[in-house]
């Protein structure tokens, strides 16, 4: 992700475990002085973490309150990385100014208070999906629509992929 930012001539700032920070420094990427500093200085902050006991709730209400009112928080990793209710409260308070996510605690999401906020963008968990997978899924889904419309049996995609 850092290389994408650099390609757009963004100043990239990294924070993570010691090994992550060391690799970033070796690659010439600036390392934030602290996790708090990362949140305070970022214009765009994108989370890229695995969810485990050490990362659950790693983003707190205090971290979000440190963000600029013009900042954008992006979470395409896992929803529980952010403390429960912290993002909604932070967006209502205007820090960060915006957020975009494609992960929720329960999916698919149909009703969630975040979806009502004008400074929040949600996508349906699209991260890390390859073009071929989309073509296969949507091709099968379209075939099922045609079959349904014609009164023919519809294939259960979940069952057909587990055989």
Report how far residue 2's alpha carbon sits from residue 29's, in angstroms, rounded to the nearest whole number: 8
Asked if the structure places residue 53 within a domain, the reply is yes
Same domain, yes or no: 120 and 136: no
* Catalytic residue list contains 9: no
Same domain, yes or no: 40 and 108: yes
Q: Which has the closest alpha carbon to 90: 77, 72, 107?
A: 72
pLDDT cut 90: percent of the chain above it: 59
The predicted pLDDT at position 163 comes to 43
Going from the C-alpha of 95 to that of each of 61, 70, 86, the distances in angstroms are: 10, 8, 11
Asked if the structure places residue 12 within a domain, the reply is no
Asked if the structure places residue 141 within a domain, the reply is yes
Asked if the structure places residue 158 within a domain, the reply is yes
The predicted pLDDT at position 139 comes to 79
Q: What's the mean per-residue pLDDT of the chain?
A: 88
Its domain, for residue 145, covers: 129-163
Same domain, yes or no: 88 and 152: no
What pLDDT digit, counting tens, does each position of 75-123 carry? 999 999 999 999 999 999 999 999 999 999 988 888 899 999 999 999 8
Same domain, yes or no: 119 and 74: yes
Could you tell me which residues are beta bridge partners of residue 98? 72
pLDDT cut 70: percent of the chain above it: 90
Same domain, yes or no: 102 and 133: no
* Catalytic residue list contains 125: yes
Asked if the structure places residue 8 within a domain, the reply is no
Same domain, yes or no: 55 and 107: yes
* Catalytic residue list contains 78: yes
Catalytic hit among 21, 48, 112, 125: 125
Same domain, yes or no: 123 and 141: no
Catalytic hit among 56, 92, 107, 135: 107
The predicted pLDDT at position 154 comes to 82
Same domain, yes or no: 95 and 147: no
Going by pLDDT thresholds of 50, 70 and 90, the confidence category of residue 69 is very high
Same domain, yes or no: 104 and 162: no
Q: How many domains does the chain have?
A: 2
Catalytic hit among 23, 78, 88, 112: 78
Going by pLDDT thresholds of 50, 70 and 90, the confidence category of residue 71 is very high
Asked if the structure places residue 148 within a domain, the reply is yes
Q: Is pLDDT larger for residue 139 or for residue 21?
A: 21
């Amino acid at each position: 992700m850092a290389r994408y930012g650099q390609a757009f001539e963004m100043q990239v700032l990294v924070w993570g475990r010691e090994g992550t920070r060391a690799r970033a420094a070796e690659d010439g990427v600036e390392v934030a002085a602290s996790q708090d500093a990362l949140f305070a200085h970022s214009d765009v902050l994108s989370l890229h973490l695995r969810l485990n006991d050490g990362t659950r709730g790693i983003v707190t209400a205090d971290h979000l309150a440190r963000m600029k009112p013009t900042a954008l928080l992006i979470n395409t990793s896992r929803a529980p990385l952010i403390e429960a209710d912290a993002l909604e409260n932070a967006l209502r308070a205007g820090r960060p100014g915006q957020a975009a996510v494609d992960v929720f605690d329960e999916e698919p999401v149909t009703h969630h208070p975040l979806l009502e906020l004008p400074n929040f963008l949600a996508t349906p968990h699209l991260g890390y999906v390859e073009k071929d997978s989309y073509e296969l899924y949507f091709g099968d889904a379209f075939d099922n629509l045609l079959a349904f419309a014609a009164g023919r049996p519809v294939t259960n995609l979940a069952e057909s992929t587990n055989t």
